[in-house]
Amino acid sequence: MQTTIAAEYLKRYRPEDDGVRFMPGLEFNLAGLPPLPDGILGDKVLRQNLRTALFKGPLTESTILAPQHSIDELNDIMQYFPWNFWDQLVLRATEGVSGLIPRQEYELLSFANAWLRWPEFMLDMQHRVGGLEGVVELGRRGRVPGSKINMLHIWCLGICSLLGRGVFLILGQEKPSEHVAELNTAMKFWEALAYGHRADGYLLGSQDRYTQRNLDEQWATRLVGSVDSLDNGASDFRSLMAAAELLAFYVHFDCRLGMMDLGPYILDNGNPVIVRNAFLREEVYPWAEPCDGLPYAMTFVLEIDAERAAIEELRCIDIGTLMTKPYDYVSGIVKGSVWVRDEWNSEPRQVSVGEARTLWYEQISDASLRIFNIFARTPRRHLIEQGAFVYCVGMIHPFLRELGIYDEIRDEYRLWDFDERVSRVYYELDRNQFARVTVPTKLFDPKDSAFALVPGGAGLWRSKYAYV
């Protein structure tokens, strides 16, 4: 990097820099920790207060391959991950009630189901690939554009397991000393995937100044080198990208699983390049039938004029979204390119912006409206259940598919079904604003946290074989 331009955001990558606050005045409070701000400073303060080396710096493969966490390591996860989660929620801010899809309700149901079901699938995959070393390799396979083996899906396998545990803690149906074995399984699986995928030793982007440079070097070079001046086509490029993102949200039931922003890759002129993936098709979702014929994924490569957009800080957060301060980076997009992946496992190829618009813009817009119509006619309970499956099936599906065992797991384990204990708490989760008010309040309540630490004397083998 021969940067001579002093773009303000580049200062954020200096080791001594504490970053800027995206939400000044807001702090995260968790029992046993000092108040934590958002951003680079929050990460720094938190790391200083943790017990083990798990989040303090880049990890080595030997740490990742150790089969068992200590309780201190589990409790470091139980404190770093909630901050990372809060840090990203702060950026999203409250979106409110959808009016189309009861998302908070379906999220809770999916977390509960994931917690009870995923550890078995994770162990199954781990055994098939020859242990955690094979899981690391599985994470590496996603270092190409248009792959759902990406940081968002990997992050979800980790945090949603913890959130599911939290739902049962809040409901009083589980104690912090229970399910320690499953907690270890889920966290080990998540770590091995993240380690292989990121390839920098960190588990989360927030540990490395919000970078997601998760492409193999050859792909990063090709994509970054493909951007071209948009001249008078900037508006066409932006609206095509927006239409693709919108459809990705419909296909994935109003959540971000259909998106993944990577980068920043920094050019010699100081400008950042962002690689934005939008997943337009997914055969496992019945409502996504209007997307048949579209590419599986579109990848938009964008160069942002950092000076023009006056960017002070740029974050590619773990949930797959680019966030900047100030937040309008769109007006700074000066160059771009479009790539498509026709099938989930085909070779990505570049297409011109004009060709992409001609071929797909109308169908993308039409598919969005058709899925909207499907949702508008779908009864609320069905929306909650289907949405829950987008999480607890959709988050783990790319890994099962990559290993060629999705059909087998679907049929053998009844993947598209709820554990009976989850079905039993459906009404409790759905009534009295439990999803919208109770859980968000208790999630981050220092005294009543859903992220309760594992007690020191808990057995590492401890599961919960009887519900008595």
Partner 1 sequence: MSEDRVIGTGLNVICAAERSEGVVRYLKKPSDVINLVRDGDIGNTVVLARAGTVTFVGPVLSRKPAGIITIEGAPQSHLGILAREFGVRAVMSIELADSAVERKGPDGVTSEAYVDYAAGELDGKRVVLDCSDADRGVILAAD
Name the residues that contact partner 1, by CB under 8 A.
22, 91-101, 103, 235, 238-239, 241-243, 245-246, 249-250, 254, 256, 321, 323, 326-328, 330-331, 365, 368-369, 372-373, 375-376, 433, 436-437, 441
Q: Which of 351, 376, 318 is nearest to 156 (CA)?
A: 318
Pairing of strands 322-325, 333-341: unpaired
Residue 201, SS3? coil
- Of the pair 66, 97, the CB lying nearest partner 1 is at 97
- Of the pair 77, 304, the CB lying nearest partner 1 is at 304
- Decide: 243 and 352 in contact? Cβ < 8 Å: no
Q: Report DSSP state, residue 452.
A: P
Q: Report DSSP state, residue 12.
A: G
Min dist CB 416 to partner 1, Å, is 22
- Of the pair 4, 235, the CB lying nearest partner 1 is at 235
- Of the pair 142, 258, the CB lying nearest partner 1 is at 258
- Of the pair 82, 102, the CB lying nearest partner 1 is at 102
- Of the pair 155, 253, the CB lying nearest partner 1 is at 253
Please tell me the distance from the alpha carbon of residue 349 to that of residue 351, in angstroms, as a whole number.
Answer: 7
CA distances from 367 to 137, 291, 364, 429 (A): 35, 6, 5, 32
Q: Which of 227, 210, 232 is nearest to 267 (CA)?
A: 227
Min dist CB 459 to partner 1, Å, is 39
Beta bridge partners of 259: 278
- Decide: 314 and 210 in contact? Cβ < 8 Å: yes
- Of the pair 22, 83, the CB lying nearest partner 1 is at 22
Q: Report DSSP state, residue 361.
A: I
Q: Where are the alpha helices (DSSP H) in 227-338?
A: 234-251
**Type of residue found at 299:** T
Q: What are phi and psi of 337, to 5 degrees?
A: -155, 160
Map tokens 């959540």 to a residue: 255
Min dist CB 246 to partner 1, Å, is 5
- Of the pair 304, 400, the CB lying nearest partner 1 is at 304
Q: Which of 78, 280, 98, 68 is nearest to 181 (CA)?
A: 68
Min dist CB 241 to partner 1, Å, is 6
Torsion of CA 430, 432, 434, 436, to 10 degrees: 100
CA distances from 194 to 71, 82, 119, 262, 278 (A): 20, 17, 17, 14, 21
Q: Which of 190, 206, 210 is nearest to 73 (CA)?
A: 190
- Of the pair 14, 447, the CB lying nearest partner 1 is at 447
- Of the pair 214, 324, the CB lying nearest partner 1 is at 324
Q: Report DSSP state, residue 279.
A: E
Min dist CB 431 to partner 1, Å, is 14
Min dist CB 10 to partner 1, Å, is 22
Min dist CB 224 to partner 1, Å, is 21
Question: Structure tokens of 345?
Answer: 């496992």
Min dist CB 434 to partner 1, Å, is 11
Please tell me the distance from the alpha carbon of residue 117 to that of residue 395, in angstroms, as a whole number.
Answer: 13
Residues 6+ apart with CB under 8 A from 217: none
Name the strand (E) or helix (H) holding 4. Answer: none
Min dist CB 248 to partner 1, Å, is 10
Min dist CB 243 to partner 1, Å, is 6
Min dist CB 437 to partner 1, Å, is 5
- Of the pair 247, 266, the CB lying nearest partner 1 is at 247
